[in-house]
């Protein structure tokens, strides 16, 4: 597939590189310098290249949105028309300094994006709590139990792949059931994100939420 990356930081850089390694045609865009985009494209190899947001979107089958929520207006304006595209978003709706949710409790980032991009198909993915918040917890738990990572879906084959990938990156895959469960995972990750950023003892707080499992 042709995959346009909007936001080539930690998430966009890493995911774009993985997509390029998997044989997809990737265009990295939206960083503070063109040099960085070119460096990423060179390192990713294959046909990966650097471009502007509108070049990344032009002809793309899938667009990965990986900017901070506060950059959304800017990147969407630069990207242009997203009609008919599959927009994969990992942007968490946090305010500019990550101290609070940018949206109220009655909607999600994916729903807000779907409202703003009515002619695109919006999928919320990779919208986990930023890894740096939980890194210490994960490091500590890796010594004993692996941290859980929830996933859901309706396609049995895809779920097997997801579970294997989750296991590969050091988590315990926790199947939460059919795709309709996805509507609960974003607010859940936002809740953890907000609590973790606001509390002084972040890791302990995050640890408690990690312990949710099928038994409730
Ligand atoms: N990090 C995680 O583990 C994680 C996990 C799940 C979800 N998320 C969410 O994913 C989204 C992206 O996170 P991230 O960690 O990838 O962020 P990031 O590393 O800061 O990447 C954001 C990208 O936007 C670019 N950018 C920022 N301001 C810009 C400007 N004024 N002009 C042009 N480009 C600009 C950055 O450029 P530079 O590269 O030049 O800095 C960078 O490429 C966020 O909503 C975050 O909450 C992150």
97 confidence band (pLDDT: 50, 70, 90): confident
Q: What is the mean pLDDT of the chain?
A: 82
Among 7-21, 71-85, 136-150, 160-174, where is mean pLDDT lowest?
136-150
> In the prediction, which pLDDT does 40 show?
98
Give the distance (Å) from ligand 1 centre to CA of residue 101.
16
Q: Which of 4, 6, 7 to mutate to test the pocket of ligand 1 (most atoms within 8 A of CB)?
A: 7
Give the distance (Å) from ligand 1 centre to CA of residue 71.
9
Among protein residues, the one whose CA lies closest to atom 38 of ligand 1? 31
The alpha carbon of 177 is separated from its chain's Cα centroid by a whole number of angstroms, namely: 20
Structure tokens at 145: 């139990």
Nearest by Cα to 117 from 65, 51, 179, 67 = 65
153 confidence band (pLDDT: 50, 70, 90): confident
Higher pLDDT, 171 or 186: 171
Residue 51 has pLDDT above 80, yes or no: yes
Total residues found in the chain within this entry: 216
Does ligand 1 have an atom closer than 6 angstroms to the CB of 40? no
209 confidence band (pLDDT: 50, 70, 90): very low
Among protein residues, the one whose CA lies closest to atom 42 of ligand 1? 9
Q: What is the mean pLDDT of residues 8-28?
A: 95
* CB neighbours of residue 57 within 10 Å: 23
Q: What is the mean pLDDT of residues 134-139?
A: 59
């Amino acid at each position: 597939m042709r995959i346009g990356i909007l936001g080539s930081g930690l998430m966009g850089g890493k995911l774009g590189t993985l997509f390029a390694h998997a044989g997809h045609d990737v265009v990295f865009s939206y960083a503070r310098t063109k040099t960085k985009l070119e460096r990423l494209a060179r390192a990713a190899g294959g046909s990966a290249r650097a471009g502007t947001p509108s070049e990344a979107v032009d002809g793309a089958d899938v667009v990965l949105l990986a900017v901070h929520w506060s950059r959304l207006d800017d990147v969407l304006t630069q990207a242009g028309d997203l009609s008919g595209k599959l927009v994969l978003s990992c942007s968490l709706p946090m305010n500019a300094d990550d101290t609070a949710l940018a949206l109220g409790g009655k909607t999600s980032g994916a729903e807000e994006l779907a409202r703003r991009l009515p002619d695109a198909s919006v999928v919320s993915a990779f919208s986990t709590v930023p890894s740096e918040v939980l890194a210490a917890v994960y490091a500590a738990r890796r010594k004993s139990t692996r941290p859980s990572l929830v996933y859901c879906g309706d396609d049995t084959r895809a779920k097997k792949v997801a579970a294997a990938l989750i296991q590969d990156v050091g988590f315990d895959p926790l199947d939460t059931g059919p795709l309709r469960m996805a509507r609960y995972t974003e607010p859940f990750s936002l809740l953890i994100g907000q609590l973790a950023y606001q509390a002084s003892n972040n890791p302990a707080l995050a640890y408690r939420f990690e312990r949710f499992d099928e038994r409730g």
